[in-house]
Structure 1
Amino acid sequence: MNTPLRRGLLAVATALGLYVGLWAELLPRTFYTSFPGLGLHWIDVDGAYDEHLIRDVGSFYLAVSALSIVALLARTDGPGRLAGLAWGVFGVLHFGYHVTHPEGSAVDVAGTLASLAVSPLVGLLLVLPSRRLRVDGEATA
């Protein structure tokens, strides 16, 4: 069963993926100089502009967003769990890179790490099985 909690987590993951993915894919130079917005600069402090790399990031986020949208529309929890695995693996590795390669001001580093903790957390929660009610009313995993 695709529970309301799972649907909510998938909606958050989809929104995150579309925000990053569309921006990086459609406006790679602006993404490089202005991400994540609000006057912060998390990408341009980490090396020279590389349009290919920025577009690859955008493509990846859009692909995982597509998986998340399919899972959001699914009636069972299997696609959501698969999307969770994808977000979790990516999130842990991405977070790990930024923990070991802090760039920018203390505010930028804190913001980067806090925002990057969302992907592995959402991924982990999505991977967990849904609880279902059996006919006798007892919960099962």
Structure 2
Amino acid sequence: MNALLHRSVLALLGFGGAVTGGWAYAAPRHWYDTFPGMGMSWLPQLGPYNEHFAKDVGAMFLALTAVTAVTFVLVANQTLVRVTALMWLVFNALHCVYHLSMLQMYDTRDATVNGILLPLAVLAAVALFIPVRVSSEPSPRRPVRRTYRQSARTDA
């Protein structure tokens, strides 16, 4: 069940990273002027447009997305899931702290949306740290692997 949770969280984080990163990298001025879309614009209040910075942000999000996509495919590798969780947790926590300290720059609607979505992104990363339950019984789809010593003891 937790593999489904992990895949769901990875899909959510990866999709958000791909959309934000692709948009910022391919159309940095449009991204700056209109992010997050839907009639809202959150970036101009925070400082002047800088194409280099916008493209770097896009590249960073695309890099996060690439690691997340690999983790989605290899979700059984719990070390990789935890590394990906840590990567998103560091980014989302720092991003959240900064933006929550800047809420006064937004109107009530935009401040509220930021105040909800940014902590949810932190919680999404934390959810990837939930360990996957491993059954003690062998899977019916996978044969039990025996070591050489186990085979020697049972065959003798």
Tell me whether the two structures share a fold, i.e. TM-score over 0.5.
Answer: yes
Deviates most, 57-66 or 125-134? 125-134
The match for 2:91 is: 90
Structure 2 unmatched runs, 5+: 139-156
Listed as ranges, the matches of 1:103-114 within 5 Å are 103-114=105-116
Q: Deviations over 1:80-108 (max 9, x none)?
A: 22111111111110000011122221111
Question: Do the aligned partners of residues 2 and 70 (structure 1) sit closer, same or farther apart at CA in structure 2, a change above 3 Å counting?
Answer: farther
Q: Distance in 1 between matches of 2:112 and 2:58?
A: 23
Structure 1 unmatched runs, 5+: 137-141
Q: Which has the larger radius of gyration?
A: 2
TM-score (norm 1): 0.89
TM-score (norm 2): 0.81
* Aligned residue pairs, count: 136
The answer as to whether partners of 1:32 and 1:49 remain within 8 angstroms in 2 is yes
Q: Distance in 2 between matches of 1:54 and 1:87?
A: 19
Q: Report percent identity of matched pairs.
A: 32
The answer as to whether partners of 2:21 and 2:61 remain within 8 angstroms in 1 is yes
Q: Distance in 2 between matches of 1:56 and 1:92?
A: 19
Q: Over aligned residues, Cα RMSD in angstroms?
A: 1.7
Q: Distance in 1 between matches of 2:20 and 2:50?
A: 16
